[in-house]
Structure 1
């Protein structure tokens, strides 16, 4: 069976329905086999192409069946094509040893290309917080730039493709302002999302101070600490020594000691109340402490 020949007869209806893309006037568009050397990554592409288990599954699928879903690209002014959707498929094709990849070539504007690029990736289950935050920021900027052409913009509409609430989208857009090193810590769960939102309001210098202290002490920032950092920086009071003091502050360690009833009963008559037993124990402990 000629995989390339069959691919050129693909109808766009199901593909466009998947990504919410308008169909060309003819209703049918030819798939083109484009040399991998002519395909270039999307500018500031926020999604990482990882050689993980899912990538290996894609490689094996392409090796056996070929590329079943063509990618999308647009012509570049200097020659070649900019990939809008299909970065992972291109990598898999390279690993298989193919020299070309089936693509839909469309002349999208920068804003249109950005929105399609984000929507074609944002629904994946394995998206990292750093990827999602940068992607939502790019889509937000593109939709805002479109202005009246987009019919207005709400955060709810922004997250609709991924089924996320306006509040969640807002949080991700906020943390896109974090330094890359801090975003990496959010990815590895070294910093929680709520704490990351607080830190995203810090100045660039303050973020670097926080990063330095985390790297020095390996501290885990609490919501209380992140809130204090945010408030101090808002007032213009935050300094590196203050960051160190806030993050290195000793936490109270909660300790729970259980004494079995039968052990207690061996020391006190049954006529003693619980309060009387506690008072005697505290008195004995005070005496022991004073004699140390």
Structure 2
């Protein structure tokens, strides 16, 4: 459990949090049952922790007037953190096309930074690059064509 006040949003987080009905339902659930799935964070060099996954749970915990929430702290570099953050948010159905576009762009850039070593995050990526382009790997992971990935990225 980490105090909510020590958790900071991921820099460049492209997903918009809304205090809508779904958020209020999540807050009500957290009031009643607590946070069932821990957030993922990494140490912030300036103090506290940077949220990698769990921004909605964090906001819902604030609305539920909780002081702390369960968090798994991982030592992730920028690229691995970006890939984790994007992967955890692409599961949501209610993404705006602009959010999806920025998410694809962020993940693709992180994958390219890793270059030939896409295998460094094989748990997130799922397999080695085998000489394939990052865009092709991303398209396969998210179930889109590489052309559709390019169309989304052009929105950014």
The 8 Å contact of residues 27 and 63 in structure 2, kept in 1 or not, is answered as yes
| CA deviation after TM superposition for structure 1 residue 161, in Å | 4.0
> Shift of residue 123 of structure 1?
1.9
Q: Which residue of 1 aligns with 2:116?
A: 148
Give per-residue Cα distances to partners, 1:25-66, cap 9 Å, x unaligned.
xxxxxxxx0111100000010000111122122111111110
**Displacement after TM superposition at 1:130 (Å):** 1.1
Look up the SS of the partner of 2:66 in the other structure: coil
Relative to its length, the structure with more strand (as a share) is: 2
User: 1:174/1:164 Cα in 2 relative to 1: closer, same or farther (>3 Å)?
Assistant: same
The answer on whether the counterparts of 2:112 and 2:134 sit within 8 Å (CA) in structure 1 is no
Q: Which residue of 1 aligns with 2:154?
A: 174
CA RMSD of aligned residues (A): 1.2
Task: State the match for 1:106 in structure 2.
Answer: 74
- Residue 157 of structure 1 pairs with residue 125 of structure 2: no
Deviates more, 1:150-159 or 1:84-93: 150-159
Structure 1 stretch displaced more, 100-109 or 58-67: 58-67
Output the TM-score relative to the length of structure 2.
0.88
Q: 5+ residue gaps in structure 1?
A: 1-32, 177-292
RCO comparison, higher one (Cα < 8 Å, 6+) = 2
* 3-state SS of 2:70 partner: strand
Q: Please identify, of 78-87 and 166-175, the stretch whose mean Cα deviation from structure 2 is larger.
A: 166-175
CA contact (8 A) 1:123 1:162 kept: no
The 2-side partners of 1:53 and 1:161 are apart by 30
- Aligned counterpart, 2:24: 56
1:189-223 C-alpha deviation (Å, 9 max, x unpaired): xxxxxxxxxxxxxxxxxxxxxxxxxxxxxxxxxxx
The partner residue of 2:64 within 73, 93, 96 is: 96
1:137 to 105, 109, 127: 105
Q: Distance in 1 between matches of 2:45 and 2:107?
A: 23
Using the TM superposition, give the Cα deviation of residue 160 of structure 1 relative to its aligned residue in structure 2, in angstroms.
3.7
Q: 1:162 to 1:61 in 2, by over 3 A?
A: farther
1: CA distance between counterparts of 2:30 and 2:140? 30
- Structure 2 unaligned blocks of 5 or more: 119-128
CA change 1:75–1:164 in 2 (3 A) is same
Q: TM-score, normalised by structure 1?
A: 0.48
Aligned-partner SS, 2:89: coil
**C-alpha distance in 1, partners of 2:28/2:3?**
20
Aligned to 1:257: none
Structure with higher Rg: it is 1
Task: Give yes or no for the alignment of 1:115 onto 2:83.
Answer: yes
Contact 2:139 2:145 in 1 (8 A): yes
